[in-house]
């Protein structure tokens, strides 16, 4: 058999495999944004309020239902401005942080249906949004940059939660579970161990120590969720 043909076939297979893996990871690293809109005077739910997120020319949106609730799904994890718009002259803007495979909740927003002209809500302090089933300890990219243990994901995990301890052999122990009974989730992919992820490549890191969602498997311990810094994150920072 022609060696060049075999080599070309091997390269083609490798390219297809890489494309499938990257595509799978890109689809996995998403989250949702949700909230509720009510009339500020009557305190009744407002229907048909538009919730809009724009990201690099792509628009994600939803309408509130009869209960005033909206949910925008499958948003790439990251930080965004979400606009709530009602009619031609009423809008509010919120800064949100969409987590990995979870949700950001802006809570209940009060609107005056008419007469408000582009009222922008400015949050001076960082708004800690409810994310996922339970609150999760989290390290952001900036916090990781200045962390003295940034070269060890396991050590940073012990700093995030007092329920995570490190054994002498370096394995992690989650309270109530056996040593090593935990998983890593990197960009939506479950791994038994993590090696050689540079600290500069980590965009966000979270630790589940309880209330572990079923999607993370049958581990009795916890999960360390890592989101890497990607091309679109760089674009958002520059813009």
Q: Which residues are within 8 A (CB) of 3 and not within 5 positions of it... i.e. 6 or more apart?
A: none
Structure tokens belonging to residue 124: 């001076």
Q: At residue 128, does pLDDT exceed 50? A: no
* Predicted local confidence at residue 36, as pLDDT: 92
The beta strand positions in the chain, using DSSP E, are: 30-39, 50-55, 58-63, 69-76, 78-86, 90-98, 103-111, 130-131, 138-140, 164-166, 172-174, 183-186, 189-191, 202-208, 223-228
Find the mean pLDDT for residues 91-117. 79
Is the pLDDT score of 89 beyond 70?
Answer: no
Q: Where are the domains of the chain?
A: 32-131, 138-238
Average pLDDT estimate for 192-219: 77
Question: What mean pLDDT do residues 61-79 have?
Answer: 91
What is the DSSP track for 147-164? -TTTT-HHHHHHHH-TTE
**pLDDT of residue 233 exceeding 70:** no
Is the model's pLDDT at 23 over the cut of 70? no
| Cα Rg of the chain (Å, integer) | 21
pLDDT of residue 222: 83
Q: What is the pLDDT of residues 145-190, one digit of tens each?
A: 889 988 889 899 998 888 889 888 888 888 877 887 888 888 878 8
Q: Which two tokens stand for residue 69?
A: 């609730």
Please state the rounded mean pLDDT for residues 184-210.
82
Give the residue-averaged pLDDT of 26-31. Answer: 63
pLDDT score, position 213: 67
How many other CB atoms are found less than 10 A from the CB of residue 149? 14
> Spelled out in words, what is the top-level CATH class assigned to the domain 138-238?
mainly beta
Question: Please, which pLDDT band fits residue 24 given cuts at 50, 70 and 90?
Answer: very low
Tell me what percent of the residues of the chain surpass a pLDDT of 70.
69
The DSSP code for 90 is E
> How far is the C-alpha of 77 from the C-alpha of 33, rounded, in Å?
10
What's the pTM? 0.51
| Domain 32-131 coded CATH 2.60.40.1120 | yes
Q: How far is CA 120 from CA 94, 123, 239, in A?
A: 8, 10, 20
CA distance 180 to 40: 51
pLDDT value for 156: 92
- Find the mean pLDDT for residues 57-63: 89
Query: What average pLDDT does this structure show over 66-74?
Result: 92
Q: Which helix (H) or strand (E) holds 196?
A: none
Summarize the confidence of residues 111-138 as an average pLDDT.
51
Q: What is the pLDDT averaged over residues 30-59? A: 89
Predicted confidence at residue 72, as pLDDT, reads 93
Say if residues 185 and 225 touch (Cβ distance below 8 Å).
yes
């Amino acid at each position: 058999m022609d060696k060049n043909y075999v080599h070309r076939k091997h390269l083609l297979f490798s390219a297809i495999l890489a494309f499938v893996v990257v595509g799978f990871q890109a689809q996995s690293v998403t989250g949702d944004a949700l909230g509720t809109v009510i009339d500020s005077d009557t305190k009744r739910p407002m229907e048909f309020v538009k919730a809009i997120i724009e990201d690099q020319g792509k628009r994600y949106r939803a309408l509130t239902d009869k209960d005033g609730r909206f949910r925008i799904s499958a948003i790439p994890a990251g930080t965004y401005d979400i606009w709530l718009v009602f009619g031609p002259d009423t809008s509010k803007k919120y800064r949100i942080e969409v987590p990995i495979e979870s949700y950001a909740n802006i809570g209940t927003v009060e609107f005056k249906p008419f007469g408000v002209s582009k009222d922008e809500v400015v949050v001076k302090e960082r708004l800690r949004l409810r994310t996922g089933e339970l609150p999760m300890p989290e390290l952001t990219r900036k916090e990781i940059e200045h962390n003295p243990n940034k070269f060890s994901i396991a050590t940073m995990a012990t700093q995030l939660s007092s329920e995570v301890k490190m054994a002498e052999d370096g394995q992690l122990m989650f309270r109530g579970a056996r040593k090593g009974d935990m998983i890593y989730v990197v960009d939506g992919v479950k791994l038994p161990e993590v090696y050689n992820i540079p600290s500069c490549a980590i965009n966000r890191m979270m630790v589940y120590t309880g209330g572990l969602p079923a999607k993370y498997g049958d581990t009795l311990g916890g999960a360390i969720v890592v989101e890497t810094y990607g091309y679109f994150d760089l674009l958002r920072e520059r813009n």
